[in-house]
Structure 1
Amino acid sequence: MFGLFSTHALHLADKHGVFAHLIEGGPTSAERVAAARGIDPETLERLLLVLAAVSVVERDAEGLYRVAPALAPSLDPGNPRYIGGFVRHLVTNTTRQLHQLDDYLARGKAAVDAELPAPFETIYRDEAATEAFLEAMWQLSFGVSGELVQLAELDDVRTLVDVGGASGAFAVAALKRYPQLSVTVFDLPQVGPFLDRTREAGRFGDRLGFTPGDFFEDALPPADCLSFGYILSDWEDTTCVELLRKAYDACGSGGRVLLMERLFDEDGGPLATAAMNLSMHVETQGRHRTAAEYTALLKEAGFGDCTVHRSTWDKHLVMGRRS
């Protein structure tokens, strides 16, 4: 019931640099943090008390606060595990749409959504919204991508197309691990300028390319391997099979497809997957699935030799091969 407060406290402490200050400077009082950051000390104290109650920060007998050591990587803007941008997306975008659930219960999703813009018309409505969304997706994807590219074993792959690859989180991880690899991100045209920034920052040159397009209207570029990271969870089963059949046509004999998604356990957990499954209901047209359900989609599209590779994060890999 009180998660509403702890999530907003988490977001505001990150937004105003409280966590970064505590991580850099060590245990200190709310008053000193407030003075350093130029914010109100009483409001900060109340926020920190909430965060201490849910063990995000720790408070000692003298009233000094520090970030819980196990959570510091997730709250440090300089760490690959940082989640501040994603929390901001949840607070500023997702929560604004949760009221739709009431209408869904009363009238059904199809009837309500017929009166609303298409999902990515809202997500990519302007440059600022696009940038915020891509930042959130980078934070969800980049840290785990290092492990996922290792699990994918791409040593024999020369060309990879990352479908809906956004600003290149998975592409960058793959390029860094496999020097023989060239990666093309296929995404909507609005994403192109942001991928250009990634290419320039990483000095990848022509190893990192961009092909603008709409995967509902256009064929996918050919490659040895095609990857879908947090893409199929945006769409219903029939659409997923259509996209996977396009991937089947695009990859050569012996090629493969990588699906990188949160996975439901057979008992319906974990909480993060269940919560994001609800988010998918209001923000997209999709859902999260079990590994068996993704395997079934791959097989319906023609892929075989399907395998599941679980990471130590929330995002996992389901792989299929074209015979």
Structure 2
Amino acid sequence: MHLADRSGVFTYLADNAGATTAKIAGALETDEETLDRLLLVLASLNVLDRTAGGQYALADGVRPYLDRREPRYLLGFVDHLLGSTADRFGQLAAYLERGKNAVDADLPAPFATLYRDEESTRRFLTAMWQLSFHVSHELAALADLGHARRLVDVGGASGPFSVAALLAYPRLRSTVFDLPQVGPYLAETAREHRLGDRLGFSGGDFFRDPLPEGDCVAFGYILSDWDDETCSQLLRKAYDACRPGGRVLVMERLFDEDRQGPLATAVMNLSMYFETQGRHRTPAEYLSLLERAGFTRCAVHRSTADKHLLVGRRD
């Protein structure tokens, strides 16, 4: 799928359903024999439909995830997995034998690796945008930010949740707090979505620096990167940064309470094991972390996608 995407196959078929291998190869200037073998695999996986006459089209329902012009396009995340994660799966046997801490003892900190150069940084931020932006519209609605004026988006990357929230709530302003390397990419986002100074950036390290003050503090796919004690420290910082009457928003994949699924969460829980020091949790585990940090009236709000919302209030 990654190779077909890089070669332009899915975008071409989104616009030219019913094309033969020869026609696709001619349009994309690729080798016809190699392309034919690739297309047969994709058809066998039900990613493509193939007629008896050898004409190809995108299968029903896949276009939003495979056409790079669509907001739910996901193959940028696949690019990140192949570029940053796949070559580390061989470490799993070593983890089983010696444990992750021992195997990774001499490796750089997780985000020093992810942000090691411009290519890696952009690939990671693109992946996070594609995982988050579409569902962020639903999460922003679930968060009910109509009365909020200052959102602090901790580890907000290039701003998928902030942008969705700002588009939905015209009186809201947001500050993304992330490592300084992220600043230029957030500026690109602000220009692209014409948000002006409503979308701001504060560079820092949330382990060493205080969080900016706001009446809503958000963590999107952040707490799952860290162990329970680190999460507790971050949530206590959020409590201190949150104005009285404000809220904290935690947006994460959730295990079922019996940890038997969902499958996508279990798979991601293994994949992220190579890049972070955290794990995915159940709703009860997150609620316990929120309450230990001092938040009250904590609640879970499920979306229709894989990323859900937990809310805690500062009285």
- For this structure pair, what is the TM-score category when the shorter chain's length is used for normalisation? over 0.9
Residue equivalent to 2:308: 316
- Per the TM alignment, residue 290 of structure 1 is displaced from its structure 2 partner at its CA by 1.0
Query: Residues of 1 paired with 2:48 and 2:70: CA distance?
Result: 18
Query: Residues of 2 paired with 1:314 and 1:166: CA distance?
Result: 19
Residue equivalent to 1:118: 109
Query: Residues of 1 paired with 2:197 and 2:82: CA distance?
Result: 37
Unaligned stretches of 5+ in structure 1?
1-9
CA deviations on 1:104-125 (whole Å, 9 max, x unpaired) are 1111111011121111111000
| Higher deviation after alignment, 259-268 or 290-299 | 259-268
Contact 2:257 2:284 in 1 (8 A): no
Query: Residues of 1 paired with 2:271 and 2:245: CA distance?
Result: 36
- Per the TM alignment, residue 207 of structure 1 is displaced from its structure 2 partner at its CA by 0.7
2:217 to 205, 226, 229: 226
Residue equivalent to 1:280: 272
Residue equivalent to 1:5: none
Question: TM-score with structure 1 length normalisation?
Answer: 0.95
The aligned amino acid for 2:251 is M
* Residue correspondence of structure 1 range 101-250 to structure 2 within 5 A: 101-250=92-241
The aligned amino acid for 1:315 is K
The aligned amino acid for 2:78 is V
Query: Residues of 1 paired with 2:287 and 2:37: CA distance?
Result: 47
Which consecutive segments of 4 or more residues in structure 1 shift more than 3 A?
none
- Per the TM alignment, residue 11 of structure 1 is displaced from its structure 2 partner at its CA by 0.7
The aligned amino acid for 1:58 is D
CA deviations on 1:231-272 (whole Å, 9 max, x unpaired) are 001000110010000000000111101111111113421111
* Residue correspondence of structure 1 range 16-55 to structure 2 within 5 A: 16-55=7-46
- 1:74 maps to 2:65: yes
Query: Residues of 2 paired with 1:262 and 1:57: CA distance?
Result: 29
Aligned length: 314
The aligned amino acid for 1:270 is P
Residue equivalent to 1:59: 50
CA deviations on 1:32-88 (whole Å, 9 max, x unpaired) are 111111111222222222211221111111111111120111111111100121011
**Alignment root-mean-square deviation, CA:** 0.9
Local SS of the residue matching 1:209 = strand
Identity %: 62
| Higher deviation after alignment, 305-314 or 152-161 | 305-314
Unaligned stretches of 5+ in structure 2?
none
The aligned amino acid for 1:38 is E
| Higher deviation after alignment, 83-92 or 226-235 | 83-92
Residue equivalent to 1:3: none
2:284 to 292, 302, 320: 292
CA deviations on 1:18-38 (whole Å, 9 max, x unpaired) are 000001111211221111111
Residue equivalent to 2:262: 270
CA deviations on 1:255-313 (whole Å, 9 max, x unpaired) are 10111111111342111111110012111001111111111111111111111111111
Residue equivalent to 1:252: 243
Question: TM-score with structure 2 length normalisation?
Answer: 0.98
| Higher deviation after alignment, 37-46 or 120-129 | 37-46
Query: Residues of 2 paired with 1:22 and 1:178: CA distance?
Result: 37
Query: Residues of 1 paired with 2:129 and 2:206: CA distance?
Result: 21
- Per the TM alignment, residue 132 of structure 1 is displaced from its structure 2 partner at its CA by 0.9
